[in-house]
Structure 1
Amino acid sequence: MKILMVLTSHSELGETGKKTGFWIEEFAAPYYVFADAGADVTIASPKGKEPPIDPSSESEDAQTGATRRFYSDRDLQEKLKKTIKLEDIDSEDYDAVFYPGGHGPLWDLANDLKSISLIEEFNAQMKPMAFVCHAPGVLANVEDHKEPLVRGKNVTGFANSEEEAVGLTNVVPFLVEDKMNQLGANYSKGDDWSSYVMVDGKLVTGQNPASSEKAARELLRLLGKE
């Protein structure tokens, strides 16, 4: 069982002068779900090497059992420093793909041509795909038979109310909830910051960091491993 995880390489939070990147829990929780199930996990990013961590995800109130496990896992930390360039990834080599969020993906992965083509290939190959929190935003330009991939599909993603709560509504390139609705998806959400996951065929989406582990388990279920 080979699973690809794709992380952002973008570190600038718009014009704020602050930093962003990927959200640790959204990477760590799924990674350990996959690794503990015996999966071979490959980590990739647009620029390769070490992807940026969103500093906000390192705050004490953002820590979970999975993040604490990550901080004591030297092997995984070393692996994270050597992510593979996205351009060197072949979808044929993997059984499924998982995209963690953080705000970074809205800037790079949403417009990255290699990422877009990879997702379209996974979709054509009918392989399970999962996107958590802001990561559903990377589907903004992904198509299926010249229509938006998410059109008519049941999806979720970081809610407008959650974006407002973190004060970044006017900083991000677009709001995930709005984008899903604009593309014709059947967007729904749970309570802010609670675990909420939608599964539509081979497509799994999670609303926020708390949804990461469940989304990973749903991906395993689609692989017949959960």
Structure 2
Amino acid sequence: MKNILMVLTSHSAMENTDGKTGVWLGEFTDPYYEFIDAGYTVTLTSPKGGRPPVDPMSELTENITGSNRRFQDDESAKTAFSQTTVLDQIRHTDYDAVFYPGGHGPIWDLAVDNNSGLLILDFLDAGKPVGAVCHGPAALISAERHRPGLLNGKTISAFSNTEESMVGRSGNVPYLLQSRLEELGAAVKTALIPFLSHVEHDGLLITGQNPLSAGPTAKALIELLGNRAADETGKGKDEKPDERDDPKD
């Protein structure tokens, strides 16, 4: 089985502004094609199902990535994006790992979504990795609510307070994600310079800071899955046959 689940936000409204949010397109497309090119099948899901909203800012020329352009020419991927499965129909047993892209949307819906929170716990309890980037780590807040102490002492990354201020949206969100995660006991590590790529790996959690971190976070998750598969294969090779089955006997 080589299947990755990607959980996308269904939320589009910001606070105190007419501006919209949703999925940051590059934070979906960069990891999506990392997974596809590594041979994984990707399933897309969202709380409401159907086509998730896309943050209009992520479609501006200065924010377009190579994977965005690839997506625009990929009819299969665009169809999958427009027909995401409703989240409450998803079971962790069908997937090797789960990945949460950002965009501001998750700090509203995925941070409080019961299905998402329980799903994250199912993956962790099954020994399966959970990846998230930028505002995607907001989904961990729901998991923490179901299992208090989950984030205490965990080292993660997420969109920083400084970056939130620099993009001019700190007054349009209900809370600052870095601060909220730190309140829950997480050690939030970020790049020394805002908007540079930064990825943290703590056990089964792999988290990235910002849009530039989306691809590297996906690569780190793929590497973890590969190392785990190699370890399992190695264990199998190291096992000695039962002496009772020795053909010399």
- TM-score band, normalised by shorter chain: over 0.9
Match of 2:215 in 1: 213
Kindly report which structure 2 residues correspond to 1:41-190, keeping only aligned pairs within 5 A, or say none. 41-143=42-144, 146-190=147-191
Q: Give the partner amino acid of 1:221.
A: E
- Deviation digits for residues 172-205 of structure 1 (CA, Å, limit 9, x no counterpart): 1211110121011111110211110000011001
Q: 163-172 vs 207-216, which deviates more?
A: 163-172
- The residue correspondences of 1:184-203 to structure 2 (distance < 5 A) are 184-190=185-191, 191-203=193-205
Q: For each residue in 1:96-154, what CA deviation from the matched residue of structure 2 results, as whole angstroms up to 9, or x when unmatched? A: 00000000111111001100110111111110110100111111131399433221011
Does the Cα contact within 8 Å between 2:118 and 2:146 map onto a contact in 1?
A: no
> Residue 4 of structure 1 aligns to a residue in which SS?
strand
Identity of aligned residues (%): 47
* Aligned position for 1:37: 38
Amino acid at match of 1:95: D
Which of the two has higher C-alpha Rg? Answer: 2
SS of the residue corresponding to residue 142 of structure 1 reads: helix
Deviation, structure 1 residue 64: 1.2
Deviations 1:48-91 (A, max 9, x none): 01000000100011011111111121211111110000000001
- Name the TM-score, length of structure 1 as normaliser: 0.96
The answer as to whether partners of 2:4 and 2:95 remain within 8 angstroms in 1 is yes
Task: Name structure 1 gaps, 5 residues minimum.
Answer: none
Deviation, structure 1 residue 224 = 0.8
Q: Which amino acid aligns with 2:160?
A: A
Question: Which secondary structure state, in structure 2, belongs to the residue aligned with residue 17 of structure 1?
Answer: coil
Runs of 4+ in 1 over 6 A off after TM superposition: none
CA distance in 2, matches of 1:69, 1:196: 24
2:16–2:171 CA contact under 8 A, matched in 1: no
Contact 2:116-2:142 at 8 Å conserved across structures = no
Q: Is the 8 A contact 1:97 1:129 kept in 2?
A: yes
Which runs of no fewer than 5 residues in structure 2 stay unpaired?
230-249
Q: What is the aligned residue count?
A: 226
Determine the C-alpha separation between the residues in 2 that align with 1:188 and 1:166: 19
Contact preservation (8 Å) 1:120, 1:144: no
Give me the whole-angstrom Cα distance separating, in 2, the residues matched to 1:144 and 1:199. Answer: 22
Q: Counting helix residues as a fraction of each chain, which structure ranks higher?
A: 2
CA contact 2:110–2:142 (8 Å) conserved in 1: no
Using the alignment, how far apart are the partners of 2:146 and 2:72 within structure 1?
42
**Contact 1:141–1:148 (Cα < 8 Å) also in 2:** no
Give the letter for the 1:210 counterpart.
L
| Structure 2 letter corresponding to 1:2 | N
